[in-house]
Amino acid sequence: MRKIRDVLRLTFEAGLGQHQVGASVRLSQGSVSKYLALAKAAGLGWPLPPDLDDVALDRLLFPTSGRTEAREGRFAPADFAGIHTQLKRKGVTLQLLWEEYRGVHGNQSYSYSQFCSLYRLFRGSLQRSMRQTHIAGEKLFVDYCGPRVEVIDSITGEVRAAQIFVAVLGASNYTYAEATWTQSLPDWIASNVRALQFYDGVPVLIIPDNLKAAVTKACRYEPDVHPTYSEFAAHYGTAILPARPYKPKDKAKVEVAVQVVERWILARLRHQNFFSLHALNGSIRILLEELNNRPFKKLPGSRHSQFDAVDKPALRPLPVVPYEYAEWRKARVNIDYHIEIDGHYYSVPHRFVKQEIDARISAGTIECFAHHQRIASHPRDPRRGAHSTQREHMPKAHQKHSEWTPGRFLNWAVDIGPRTRDVVKHLLEDRPHPEHGYRSCLGLLNLAKRYGEKRLEAACERALLAGSPTRKSVLSILDNGLDKASPTTEANEPLQTHDNVRGAKYYH
């Protein structure tokens, strides 16, 4: 209509010829001639009446056009609200929907270009939150409300503010909300788990904001997702795609959902007093059900009906076992091949000494990973200062040392003889702690390999009689061959005479 007005103005007001008018408004001379003829037939000149808008001008100039005929009922109306819903399904296009519409109505259907134009007009009449096209089952948006709800401790009277978690599916707007004490990692993961259980399915993508529990390093191009959140996503077979920092349009869907929850749920709870988180969540569930069953203003159905028809069939099934919360930490392996978790020490293979590894900490298990491979697993132990050590994590020398016990040494000694056992027993009991005598016992028992068990047993008997049951005494006896002479025989033999032996007479 703007070009037609320019044609009339330039012709009647500026006095230009048809060729000049066509060049000015970029129309062919034939089109200019046609518009002037239509204006003459309608009795129009210049200036046009001030109350003549484009719609009225169109009716005067084109009284038999397709648009007028459509208004008169020549073309079958299209259900653009239903078409808008169908476009949310994966693979559905306007071309396909137009072909289906044309197949039903035949010659009474709109042309494809007019069909698309009328759909765009319908889409433009919707609220801002409905203008984005979301594929069914593709995206779940998650965030927290700004306002918090006060909960009163019934015993102490202390007032504590609860956070409100919100999740919404992109295609159906089906909304979930709950209250938690904090936005910390355990509460964040638990809320995500319960949201998926509420939807009874898993979307392709989860779109969080850049809160610390979800993203360790915010970045427009390559954000670092928290390891625990990544593990949660891997368990459910979904992916985490954080919204870009300072780009609220990336999560416009949840921004609107948060606003709806604040107005529809939190505003209605503002006059109530809650004395437990459980009571608050009970009230939220009641209002949440009303919200999801509330009819849309311009689209057919409600959030719940749209979820059943669009999103639910497209969601992936939940795993059999829900995700078990586990926290990931970095830990450096100490020189004693142990890492410290909450004051307790857990062993890892000794080859990882001084290396930094990843520890996965769940309610009942401590798992250790290096280069994405699990290298150790322990039951979680609350004792502070204690050690949980697995024998296979030790070097071979330490493994042998760990096998040393008083009972083990005594059993080795009994196999040699009772006198050897008595010497070993003395070595263990003559020290402040039995472990102090382990090396002496080991050295004593190893003498059997060099001198034989019979000689060792005899040497131990002689050392006991001499009142010196030590490893050094036994070794001296064996080196000098004194174990071969019987202690009784030696006692009965006369003393040898020698010039240097003074004898008993010298002392009289």
Structural domain boundaries in the chain: 2-63, 139-314, 327-398, 404-492
- For tokens 């306002």, the residue is 147
pLDDT (tens digit, 9 = 90+) per residue, 137-171?
888 999 999 889 999 988 888 999 999 999 999 88
Decide which of 89 and 85 is more confident.
85
Third-level CATH fold of 139-314: Nucleotidyltransferase; domain 5 (3.30.420)
Residue 66's pLDDT band (cuts 50, 70, 90): very low
With 90 as the cut, is the pLDDT of residue 194 above it? yes
- What is the predicted pLDDT for the residue at 69? 44
**Residue 80 pLDDT class (50, 70, 90 cuts):** confident
| Alpha-carbon span 287 to 264, nearest angstrom | 8
Check whether 56 has a pLDDT greater than 90: no
Confidence band of 400 (pLDDT split at 50, 70, 90): low
pLDDT tier, 491 (very low <50, low <70, confident <90, very high otherwise):
very low
The residue that leads in pLDDT, 78 or 436, is 78
**R_g (Cα) of the chain, nearest Å:** 46
Helix (H) / strand (E) containing 176: strand 175-180
**Mean per-residue pLDDT for 248-273?**
80
DSSP-based three-state secondary structure for 413 = helix
Question: At residue 494, does pLDDT exceed 80?
Answer: no
What local confidence, expressed as pLDDT, does residue 247 receive? Answer: 59
> Quick one: pLDDT at residue 382?
86
> Can you tell me the mean pLDDT for 362-381?
89
In whole angstroms, what is the distance from residue 441 CA to residue 409 CA? Answer: 7
Whole-number percent of the chain with pLDDT over 70: 84
Confidence of residue 506 (pLDDT cuts 50, 70, 90): low
Question: Does the pLDDT of residue 67 top 60, yes or no?
Answer: no
Tell me which residue has tokens 């028809």: 309
The CA distance from 265 to 242, in Å, is 26
Output the average pLDDT for the chain: 82
What integer pLDDT is reported at residue 337 of this predicted model?
86
Rounded mean pLDDT, 445-450: 86
368 phi, psi to nearest 5 deg: -115, 135
* Average pLDDT, integer, range 364-385: 90
pLDDT the model gives residue 486: 62
Tokens standing for residue 81: 């609200």
* SS3 track for 62-93: CCCCHHHHHHCCCCCCCCHHHHHHHCCCCCCC
Residue with tokens 């322990």: 378
In this predicted structure, what is the pLDDT of residue 502? 60
Burial state string for 184-202 with b = 16 or more CB within 10 A and e = fewer than 16: ebebbbebbbbbbebbebb
* pLDDT of amino acid 403: 60
Average pLDDT over residues 17-42: 82
The string of pLDDT tens digits covering residues 448-486 is 888 888 888 898 988 898 888 888 888 888 888 887 776
Range among 87-101, 237-251, 319-333 with highest mean pLDDT value = 319-333
**In the prediction, which pLDDT does 331 show?**
92
- Contacts of residue 185, Cβ cutoff 8 Å, sequence gap at least 6: 213, 226, 228, 229, 327
> What does the pLDDT average to over 94-123?
87
Q: Rounded distance, CA 356 to CA 137, Å?
A: 40
Predicted confidence (pLDDT) at residue 284 exceeds the cutoff of 70? yes
Task: Give Cα separations from 380 to 54, 117, 301, 338, 496 (angstroms).
Answer: 77, 64, 51, 14, 72
pTM here is: 0.51
Q: What span, in angstroms and rounded, lies between the C-alpha atoms of 231 and 222?
A: 18
The pLDDT of residue 318: 94
Cα dihedral sign for 359, 361, 367, 369?
A: negative
* pLDDT at site 129: 44
